[in-house]
């Protein structure tokens, strides 16, 4: 019984000793592949090269921007209408989505075949009038969250 007690006491003492030992403050670690290096650890020559690349990139971005007439940027005086936008600046066109067009069902006015599943769909308003040709309609055979739209033929 004394050997077991002595062994248990040694185990407890060693666990307490290891738990009280200080951890090393700085342990160098290996960088993960593809990880960005620490900016503080970069050599001055590499930092200078990166700064030069960033400056060159900024210059090319500034050169690619369209030149705007300074008179067009001047603020309007009180009581005057705002200045018209400069003509050399083009607005980006909105992204146009081309939706499929349904097929008419011969002999049945106001009924079309859905381009998604070829099921018959009514293209009448709630008051019974026909929806005009070319209008965008939500396919009622799908849930609204799926957003299946088609054009009326």
Instruction: Enumerate residues 6+ apart whose C-beta is below 8 A from 69.
Output: 86, 88
Q: Specify the pLDDT at position 41.
A: 56
HSE (CB half, 13 Å, CA atoms) of 84?
A: 3
Q: In this structure, how many other beta carbons lie within 10 angstroms of the beta carbon of residue 149?
A: 15
- Distance of alpha carbon 51 from the chain centroid: 28
- pLDDT values of the chain reduced to their tens digit, one per residue, 153 residues: 788 888 988 888 887 777 776 666 666 556 566 666 555 555 666 777 778 888 877 777 776 665 555 555 555 556 666 666 666 667 777 777 788 999 999 999 999 999 999 999 999 998 999 999 999 998 988 887 888 889 999
Sign (positive or negative) of CA dihedral 132, 138, 142, 147? positive
Global pTM? 0.39
Instruction: Locate the domains of the chain by residue range.
Output: 99-153
């Amino acid at each position: 019984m004394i050997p077991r007690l002595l062994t248990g006491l040694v185990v407890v003492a060693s666990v307490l000793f290891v738990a009280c030992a200080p951890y090393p403050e700085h342990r160098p670690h290996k960088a993960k592949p593809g990880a960005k290096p620490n900016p503080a650890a970069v050599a001055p020559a590499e930092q200078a090269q990166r700064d030069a690349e960033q400056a060159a990139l900024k210059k090319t971005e500034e050169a690619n921007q369209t030149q705007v007439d300074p008179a067009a940027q001047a603020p309007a005086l009180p009581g005057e209408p705002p200045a018209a936008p400069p003509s050399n600046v083009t607005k980006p066109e909105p992204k146009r989505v081309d939706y499929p067009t349904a097929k008419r069902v011969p002999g049945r006015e106001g009924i079309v075949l859905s381009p998604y599943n070829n099921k018959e769909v009514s293209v009448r308003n709630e008051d019974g009038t026909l929806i005009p040709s070319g209008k965008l309609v939500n396919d009622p055979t799908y849930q609204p969250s799926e957003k299946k739209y088609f054009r009326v033929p």
